[in-house]
Amino acid sequence: MADTTRRTIFKAASAAVATAQFPILGANDRVNLGQVGIGGRGRDHLNYYAAIEEARIAAVCDVNQAGRERGAAQVQKLKGYAPAQFADMRTMFESKDIDAVSVTTPNHWHALSTIWACQAGKDVYVEKPASHNVFEGAQMVAAARKYKRMVQVGSQSRTIAHKMRAMELLREGVIGHVYHSRGLCYRRRFSIGHTPDEPVPPGLDWDGFLGPAQMRPYTKNRFAYNWHWFWDTGNGDIGNQGIHEMDIALWGLGRGGWPKSVVSTGSKYVWKDDQETANTQSASFEFGDAMLTFEVRNLPTPTEGGAPIRPNSTGNIFFGELGFMYVDNVGFQVYKSAAASLSHESVSSASAGGQEKYQQVMDEKATEGQAWATTPHMRNFVEAVKSRDYRKLNADIAIGARSAAFVHLANISLRVGRRLTVRQADGRFAGDDEANSMLTRDYRDPFVIGSQI
């Protein structure tokens, strides 16, 4: 990259802090990316970025030596060159050869890695959910704005054509006033069993893996994918698969701010294992003129809405005064009440007849290969990095942090076991110290997110 387009970084103390202004990358300049976290999703990211001409995978970072080596070998195979390898993300963030980073760590690392990267003058693509708790989401937004960084959250539904079209139709009033938004996360999973404490495997920095979480003995279930099911590192399936549907539920409902109240119930049923989070959960958010409900079930479950009955069903239903819409990764369908086109008198007469009829008025299928496509979402990120305009991001951190906050509100209600009243001014719970303490976490030194970023 030419000197005139290279970002200038000043180091202050042990952290690298960005200058106030950064030059815009030229149209022909590639964005040099560093990948943080080389697990299953991290390897997916390497495949996706390899398909984007404007991006160059310059480095890989993981606390696990085996992960770093797999990532480097994957880039070598995909692109024909060896990326730099880093064991500590902070060292990678200090590199002047990195423009942006892509974060696929466990959830509890999302916020701190994003904030550190912003402070070092790097743009960030961070996987969903944006944060591990509500406080972190607010600090991520503050860091992105303070350091003028592009921060895109991996809510790729925001860049999927048929879902964008469905939301556009809702805004145009295809089913009238939307009063109820429902998210469905029926993802069949199985018990993780029990795994004992054991020595940390060679090549793994367990302290670095735990980071902001409290120190615990290494077990296989707390590592790799199953970290999702422990409160220290994950947020359960409502924050794993469910966050996609939560984001769409809020998008289609079209209400800003906080809900007036939240209540969530459920538990881990049937399984006798190490998992801490629920495998069955229902949540309800009340806005006053509308409501949002959410359902998680990891045990056998039929489909709701307009989709055919099948396992692993995830999607959204929107209810309006004129009908309803069902949206999933296959496409969307709109059904309207036959009474929607009748006069008030005719509606009353029709209702007296006992049965109202609905007619499918729209059935749009997903473009082949685009149902869960992530590459276009990443391309949107790269384009925003080059333009230096965060408003061009389809899932800016402010959007992702809000959707994640609703996941956290539901989990807090579930864990304390009661309905919670939410203050509109600041999103805290009225008269509930126990619930308010869960808006953040007890950070472990030196992996602390403070009130000042």
Residue 367 confidence (pLDDT) above 90: no
Residue 113 confidence (pLDDT) above 50: yes
Under 8 Å between Cβ of 41 and 156: no
Under 8 Å between Cβ of 79 and 33: no
End-to-end CA distance of the chain: 29
Residue ranges of the chain that CATH labels 3.30.360.10: 159-370+403-437
Strand residue runs (E) in 79-214: 84-86, 100-103, 123-126, 151-153, 178-186
Write down the pLDDT at residue 183: 98
Please provide the size of the chain in residues: 453
**Whole-model pTM over 0.85:** yes
Q: What's the DSSP call for residue 8? A: P
Interval 3-59: pLDDT, tens: 333 333 223 333 333 333 344 555 458 999 999 999 999 999 999 999 999 999 999
Q: Residues near 131 by Cβ (< 8 Å), separated by ≥ 6?
A: 107, 110, 111, 137, 140, 401, 404, 405, 408
CA 398/CA 224 separation, integer angstroms: 28
Under 8 Å between Cβ of 193 and 305: no
Write down the pLDDT at residue 358: 83
Count CB neighbours of 428 within 10 A.
16
CATH code for 3-158+374-398?
A: 3.40.50.720
Under 8 Å between Cβ of 404 and 385: no
Interval 208-229: pLDDT, tens: 999 999 999 999 999 999 999 9
Model confidence band, residue 306 (pLDDT cutoffs 50, 70, 90):
low
Q: Residues near 345 by Cβ (< 8 Å), separated by ≥ 6?
A: none
CA 239/CA 130 separation, integer angstroms: 10
Matching residue, tokens 């299953």: 40
Type of residue numbered 321: E
* CA of residue 88 relative to chain centroid, distance: 24
Measure the CA angle with vertex 78, ends 72 and 81; round to 5°.
55
Give percent above pLDDT 90 in the chain: 84
Write down the pLDDT at residue 57: 98
Span 351-370, average pLDDT: 76
Interval 149-195: pLDDT, tens: 999 999 999 999 999 999 999 999 999 999 999 999 999 999 999 99
* Residue 171, both tokens: 């805004």
Measure the CA angle with vertex 230, ends 225 and 236; round to 5°.
80
CATH code for 159-370+403-437?
A: 3.30.360.10
Span 258-281, average pLDDT: 98
Write down the pLDDT at residue 82: 97
Interval 73-105: pLDDT, tens: 999 999 999 999 999 999 999 999 999 999 999
Write down the pLDDT at residue 339: 74
Residue ranges of the chain that CATH labels 3.40.50.720: 3-158+374-398
Under 8 Å between Cβ of 42 and 101: no
Measure the CA angle with vertex 260, ends 255 and 262; round to 5°.
100
CA 116/CA 122 separation, integer angstroms: 9
Model confidence band, residue 311 (pLDDT cutoffs 50, 70, 90):
confident
